[in-house]
Amino acid sequence: MGNTARGFTLIEVLIVLCLLSLAALSLLELQWRSLHAARQSALHGVAMQLAVDMAERLRAGAAPDAAEQAAWQARVAAALPAGRALICQDAAPWDEAAGAYRWACSGEASGPQVVKLGWGSAADGAVPHPDVVIVVAPAQP
């Protein structure tokens, strides 16, 4: 009886190593996306809290003076990367064509008062559109 030993060939080992490295890279990408989503969620929570804080102050009729508004905007800038905030009258904050909120305000007196917050998520820190928009007071008839 012959003594035949079967083993793995070099090509089989290389194929298995390639498959394992692809699986490892896929898991690494999944982990990276998960961390990014968790960070964006945390930033959204902070932004919501800052926006609700200002909206409640405005609803109570205590409109902030220039110094208070500047302090609030400084808190926004400190809490959010490239944070930006705006309070204005805006009849149409949603841009249907872009599928996002817009920074520009209509300024119509009949439009609702809104609080807009956004932060930069790109490497350049640009804030292309608000991420959080809260309507403070409904439009006046």
Task: Quote the domain boundaries for residue 51.
Answer: 42-137
Overall number of domains in the chain: 1
pLDDT at site 1: 55
Q: Where do the DSSP E strands lie in the chain?
A: 84-89, 94-95, 100-101, 113-118, 132-137
Q: Is residue 89 part of a domain?
A: yes
Q: Is residue 98 part of a domain?
A: yes
Q: How confident is the prediction along the chain (141 residues), in pLDDT tens digits per residue?
A: 556 657 779 999 999 999 999 999 999 999 999 999 999 999 999 999 999 999 999 999 888 899 999 999 999 999 999 999 999 999 999 999 999 999 999 888 888 999 999 999 766 778 899 999 999 977 555
pLDDT at site 22: 97
Q: Alpha-carbon distance 95 to 102, whole Å?
A: 6
Q: Is residue 94 part of a domain?
A: yes
